[in-house]
Copies of this chain bind each other. A is one copy, B any other.
Amino acid sequence: MSQPYPPSAERPESFDEPVLMQLSAPEATPLRADAARNRARLLEAAARLVEEQGVARLTMEGVACAAAVGKGTVFRRFGDRNGLLMALLDHTEQSFQRAFISGPAPLGPGAPAVERLHAFGGQALRLTAERLDMYLAAEPESTRRFTTAPYRVRFMHVCMLLRQTGPGPDTDTELLAQTLMGYLDPALIGHLTRQRGMSPERLEAGWRDLVDRSVGPRPV
Contact = CB atoms under 8 A, between A and B. Distances in A.
Interface stretch (A27-35, A58-66, A177-185): A177-185
Interface in A178-209: 178-179, 182-183, 185, 187-188, 190-192, 194-195, 198, 202-203, 205-206, 209
A218 B209 contact: yes
Contacts of A176: 206, 209-210
A4 B156 CA distance: 43
A175 B209 contact: yes
A26 interface: no
A172 B214 contact: no
Interface residues of A, number: 39
A139 interface: yes
Interface in A97-113: none
Nearest to A209: B218
* Copy total for this chain: 2
Most buried by B among A141, A179, A195, A219: A179
Contacts of A203: 175
Contacts of A94: none
Interface in A149-180: 170-172, 175-176, 178-179
Interface of A: 15, 136, 139, 141-143, 145-147, 170-172, 175-176, 178-179, 182-183, 185, 187-188, 190-192, 194-195, 198, 202-203, 205-206, 209-210, 212-214, 216, 218-219
Given A176-B209, A178-B183, A182-B183, 18 more contacts: A136-B143, A139-B141, A141-B187, A143-B188, A143-B195, A146-B195, A147-B195, A170-B209, A172-B202, A172-B205, A175-B198, A176-B206, A178-B192, A179-B179, A179-B206, A179-B210, A182-B182, A209-B218
